[in-house]
A and B are shown apart, each in its own frame.
Chain A
Amino acid sequence: MLIDSLRMAWRSLAANTARALLTMLGIIIGVAAVIALVSVGQAATQSVTAKVENLGSNMIVVVPNQAQGVTLHVADGNWLLATVPQISAVAPLLEGGVMSRYGTKTWSTTLLGTTPPSEQIQGRSMSAGRYLVGSDVQLRRQVAVLGATTEQNLFGGLNPIGRTIQVDGMPLIVVGVMNQSGGAGITSNPDDEIVTPVTVAEQILHTNNVAAFMTEARSSDLAPLAVGHLQAVMSRRFRSSTAAEVVSEDQVLKTLASLTGTLTVMLGGIAGISLLVGGIGIMNIMLVTVSERTREIGLRKAIGAKRSAVALQFLIESGILSLGGGAVGGALGYAGALTFTSALHWPSGTSLSTVLLALVFSVAVGVVFGMWPALRASRLDPIEALRQG
Chain B
Amino acid sequence: MAAVIRVEALERVYRIGPVSVPALRGLDFAVPAGQMVAIMGPSGSGKSTLLNLLGCLDRPTAGRYFLAGDDVAHKSSDELAEVRNRRIGFVFQNYNLLPQLTAFENVELPLVYGRVGRAERHRRADEALAAVGLADRRRHHPMELSGGQQQRVGIARAIVGRPDVILADEPTGNLDSVSGNDVLQLFHALHEGGSTIVIVTHDEEVARHCQRIIRLHDGQLVRDDEAPARNLTATGEEAEPC
Q: Contacts A11-B101, A15-B99, A309-B113: A304 and B57 contacting too (C-beta < 8 A)?
A: no
Given A307-B77, A383-B52, verify A302-B90 contact (CB < 8 Å): yes
Q: B232 on the interface (CB 8 Å rule)?
A: no
Give the complex CA separation of A205 and B81 in angstroms. Answer: 92
Q: In the complex the two chains form, is A303's CB within 8 Å of B157's CB?
A: yes
Q: Which residues of chain A are near B57, meaning CB under 8 Å?
A: 302, 382-383, 386
Tell me whether B112 and A4 are in contact (CB under 8 A). Answer: yes
Which residue of A4, A14, A300, A303 contacts B100 across the interface (Cβ within 8 Å)? A14
Q: Which of B55, B82, B114, B161 contacts A302, CB < 8 Å?
A: B55
Contacts of B90 in A (CB 8 A): 302-303
Contact indicator per residue, chain B 146-172, by CB within 8 Å of chain A (1) or not (0):
000000000001000100000000000
Q: Is B138 positioned at the interface, with any CB of A under 8 Å from its CB?
A: no
Measured in the bound complex, the distance between the Cα atoms of B110 and A300 in whole Å is 8
Residues of A within 8 A of B52 (CB): 383
CA distance A192 to B52 in the complex (A): 85
Is B30 close to A, CB under 8 A?
no
Interface: B237 (CB within 8 A): no
A282-314 to B contact mask, C-beta < 8 Å, 1/0: 000000000000011011111111111100000
Size bracket, chain A contacts: 20 to 34
At the interface, yes or no: A158 with Cβ under 8 Å from chain B?
A: no
Residue-wise, chain B 193-233 has the 8 Å CB interface mask toward A (1 for contact) of 00000000000000000000000000000000000000000
Complex interface: chain A residues within 8 A of B96 (CB): 295, 298-299, 302, 386
Min Cβ gap B83→A in Å is 8
- In the assembled complex, A12 has its CB within 8 A of some CB on chain B: yes
Query: Does B92 contact A303, Cβ atoms closer than 8 Å?
Result: no
Can you name the residue of chain A whose Cβ is closest to the Cβ of B95? Answer: A299
Query: Measured between C-beta atoms, what is the minimum distance from A60 to chain B in Å?
Result: 72
A15-B100 CB under 8 A given contacts A303-B157, A304-B84, A383-B57: yes
Nearest chain A CB to B76's CB is how many angstroms away? 10
- The winner among B58, B82, B101 for most chain A CB atoms within 10 A is B101
Nearest A residue to B169 by beta-carbon distance?
A: A386
Q: Which of B58, B81, B100 contacts A304 (CB 8 A)?
A: B81
Q: Are A304 and B78 in contact (CB under 8 A)?
A: no
Q: Which chain B residues border A304 with CB–CB below 8 Å?
A: 81-82, 84-86, 110, 113-114, 161
Contact with A along B96-125 (1 / 0, CB 8 A): 101111000000011011110000000000
Q: Return chain B residues, CB-CB under 8 Å to A307.
A: 77-78, 81
Minimum CB–CB distance for B227 against chain A, Å: 30
Contact pick for B85, options A14, A299, A303, CB 8 Å: A303
Contact present for B58 and A302 (CB under 8 Å): no
CB A295 to nearest CB in B, in angstroms, measures: 7
Residues of A within 8 A of B55 (CB): 302
* Contact of A306 with B84 in the complex, beta carbons under 8 Å: no
User: Which residue of chain A is the closest to B108 with respect to CB atoms?
Assistant: A4
| Residue pair A306, B81 in contact (C-beta under 8 Å) | yes
Taking the complex as formed, is A1 at the interface, i.e. its CB lies under 8 A from any CB of chain B? yes
A305 touches B100 (CB 8 A): no
15 chain-A/chain-B pairs, Cβ below 8 angstroms = A1-B115, A12-B100, A299-B96, A299-B98, A300-B109, A301-B81, A302-B57, A302-B90, A303-B157, A304-B82, A304-B113, A304-B161, A383-B57, A383-B58, A386-B96
